[in-house]
Structure 1
Amino acid sequence: MKIIGIDLSGPSNHKDTVLAVFENQAGALRFNKQLSNIGDLEILNEVTHQSQNDEVVIGIDAPLSYQDGGGDRPGDKELRQYIVSLGMKSGSIMPPTFNRMVYLTLRGIKLSREIGNLKTENPISMVEVHPGAVIGSRISRSHLDYVLSYKQDLAARRFIRKWLGEQKLTNLPVLIEEESHSMDACAAALGAWHWRDKQFQPKWILPADPPLHPFDYCC
């Protein structure tokens, strides 16, 4: 099984888009490679390539639907309440149609449907993931400050890289400490792995509710 974590940015901001590829080996996720500063076609090509020999599971950090009429989706409200209960800040979860989110939502919806239309040798499944919540829901409460600061602080990213190794993400290169988008891609892969692999389960999940919300949403 190949696990891909994608930290998506808006369609005009390729430089902040990171894709991390892992392979499930003997109960661990082994880091394979990272692609940065990539557009939609490069993402689609990489997914197609990875699907040639194995099942592919993708965790995407971006809204993959929006609420008809605007505002929060039911999952946004629930996940916000959940992360606040962990001691995290509510502001990391915004309505998909909020001004700062709308172009990311557009790209997430478009890309997820394009992936769904790919003709591949092996199955592809997708889940919407919140990387910060993936980390915050699994890390010790005594280390929660690292979760709150890793986007700005290199020392926090160094700690979380080590912590990801303890979660059985192996062979992680030092380069993922360089900026938070790489770390979020790895955390998205961790969330997707726990969502798909039957020996694990998500810490929080809202099942898909098609046709308006066709993908599970989890951390």
Structure 2
Amino acid sequence: MKIVGIDLSGPSNHKDTAVAVFSDQGDSLYLDRLLNPASDQDILSLITNLSAEQQVVVGIDAPLSYEDGGGDRELEKELRSFTKELGMKSGSIMPPTLTKMIYLTVRGMKLASLLSDLMNIQVIEVHPGATLAARIPGEEGRKHALLYKRSLESRDWIANWMISFGLKGIQVNLLQTSHLIDSCAAAIAAWDYVSPNRKPAWSYDANSPYHPYPFSC
């Protein structure tokens, strides 16, 4: 099985879209490929080829649905409470229809729909920041989990933690942007959701037809 983590940006921002492809080895993930930048066509071509031979689980860091009438989904309300306990700012969990989020939501929903039409694909919505904050122990670790988007030192620390967590094939010098870190964290969230021997730190069930994808962090 392949586990794919996608840190998605808005439709015109391919340079900040990062994809990490891992092979599930049971007790670890082995990094096969990093893709950055990435367009929708790049992502579809990559995952189409992967799914021709095996099951592919895709964790996408973007809202994959929205609440009719706007504002928070029930997901955001409950996730915000969970992340506050981890020391994260409430503003890190934003409604899908917020002005600064809407283009990302549109891209996420389109990509998830296209991927779901393929065979052997499972799509999961994820939140890399919450994934890291919920797993990295200790005061120092929590500091790096909250600062990695702004600090190269924290990104290096988290890359080393990922190696100890079970991500093989990673080289610290390759994960120099927060987008690449987030793509790997997205893969962790998806892996923990689907693996029979693992479990997510926090999850939310799909509720079709309006919210058709489960959430994991």
The two structures have a TM-score, normalised by structure 1, of: 0.96
Residue 57 of structure 2 is matched in structure 1 by 57
Contact 2:156/2:176 (CA < 8 Å) preserved in 1?
no
Residue 186 of structure 1 is matched in structure 2 by 184
Match for 1:127 among 116, 124, 127?
A: 124
User: What does 1:57-206 correspond to in 2, within 5 Å?
Assistant: 57-118=57-118, 120=119, 123-142=120-139, 143-206=141-204
1:147 match: secondary structure: helix
Letter of the 1:131 counterpart: P
Q: In 2, Cα distance between the equivalents of 1:25 and 1:159?
A: 24
Q: In 2, Cα distance between the equivalents of 1:185 and 1:202?
A: 16
Q: How many residues align?
A: 216
Contact 2:160/2:172 (CA < 8 Å) preserved in 1?
no
Structure 1 stretches of 4+ with a deviation exceeding 4 A read none
Contact 1:176/1:183 (CA < 8 Å) preserved in 2?
no
Q: In 1, Cα distance between the equivalents of 2:117 and 2:62?
A: 19
Q: In 1, Cα distance between the equivalents of 2:117 and 2:108?
A: 14
Residue 37 of structure 1 is matched in structure 2 by 37
Structure 2 alignment gaps of length 5 or more: none
The CA deviation at 1:26 is 4.0
Structure 1 vs Structure 2 CA RMSD:
0.9
Structure 1 alignment gaps of length 5 or more: none
Q: In 2, Cα distance between the equivalents of 1:130 and 1:106?
A: 17
Q: In 1, Cα distance between the equivalents of 2:36 and 2:44?
A: 14
2:30 match: secondary structure: strand
Contact 1:96/1:102 (CA < 8 Å) preserved in 2?
yes
Q: In 1, Cα distance between the equivalents of 2:27 and 2:201?
A: 18
The CA deviation at 1:65 is 0.2
Q: In 2, Cα distance between the equivalents of 1:105 and 1:60?
A: 11
Contact 2:205/2:213 (CA < 8 Å) preserved in 1?
yes
Q: In 1, Cα distance between the equivalents of 2:212 and 2:122?
A: 11
Contact 1:18/1:35 (CA < 8 Å) preserved in 2?
yes
Q: In 1, Cα distance between the equivalents of 2:123 and 2:115?
A: 9
The CA deviation at 1:167 is 1.2
Could you tell me the percent identity over the aligned residues?
A: 47
Letter of the 1:111 counterpart: L
